[in-house]
Structure 1
Amino acid sequence: MITKFCQDIGVKPQIRHVQAIWPSGKYEDYRIHCFANAAAAKAFLDHFGGGVFDPKSDRECKKIRGVWRRTGEYKRILDLGPLSVPEILRN
């Protein structure tokens, strides 16, 4: 679904991975889609939802492989725009 959407709008994002860690110690691995221009990123965000990740400010100590230190309470993402985690993987 993501690949088709990106082909339809004529962009090819780079895909990166980041580990997000909350103050409670909970963590998740996220797949991040990186776009060359803000308009493409906005179109993706408008269609799929989610959040904005800025590697220059969100990575721990601004390291290339640094983790994403999150704030607030951990909440598992099960539905995000037209995407959702299958029922069998929810628990």
Structure 2
Amino acid sequence: MTCARHSFTLIREFCEARALVLMTRQVQAIWPDHKYENWRLYCFADPASAQLFLDHFGGMMFDPKRDRENGHARGIWRRTGEYKRVLDLGPLSVPQALRN
């Protein structure tokens, strides 16, 4: 079973091996049907670093100027389409205890 600590270790080791500087942020993602989740964002100083991370771990690109209500620091991420919970993403996984 992959736990949150294991996922964190994978991310830390990946970034250290490539000398990537990583910051995390939280954002509330809300879908048109009013379902929502709190998501952790992995933030990088430049698009090329973010793309390296995305190519390795999967996921989706988040652009705060486009996706966070006109760039407001405390704005929400208005998602489009149908809500689908993400439990596994490449080598990362949500711990079993948090899946329900």
TM-score exceeds 0.5: yes
Query: One-letter code of the match for 2:91?
Result: P
> What CA distance in whole angstroms lies between the structure 1 residues aligned with 2:13 and 2:25?
18
User: Which residue number corresponds to residue 12 of structure 1?
Assistant: 21
User: Which residue number corresponds to residue 22 of structure 1?
Assistant: 31
Pick from 41, 44, 49 the counterpart of residue 50 of structure 2.
41
> What CA distance in whole angstroms lies between the structure 1 residues aligned with 2:40 and 2:96?
20
Identity of aligned residues (%): 62
> What CA distance in whole angstroms lies between the structure 1 residues aligned with 2:59 and 2:47?
15
Counting matched residue pairs gives 91
Deviation of 1:73 (Å): 0.6
Query: Which structure 1 residue ranges, 4+ long, deviate > 3 Å from structure 2?
Result: none
> What CA distance in whole angstroms lies between the structure 2 residues aligned with 1:37 and 1:61?
20
Deviation of 1:36 (Å): 1.2
Query: One-letter code of the match for 1:39?
Result: A
User: Which residue number corresponds to residue 56 of structure 1?
Assistant: 65
The two structures, once aligned, show a CA RMSD in angstroms of 1.1
> What CA distance in whole angstroms lies between the structure 2 residues aligned with 1:85 and 1:68?
21
Query: One-letter code of the match for 1:33?
Result: Y
For structure 1, the 5+ residue unaligned runs are: none
Q: Kindly indicate whether structure 1 or structure 2 has the higher relative contact order, using CA contacts under 8 Å at least 6 residues apart.
A: 2
> What CA distance in whole angstroms lies between the structure 1 residues aligned with 2:96 and 2:78?
28
Calculate the TM-score normalised by the size of structure 1: 0.92
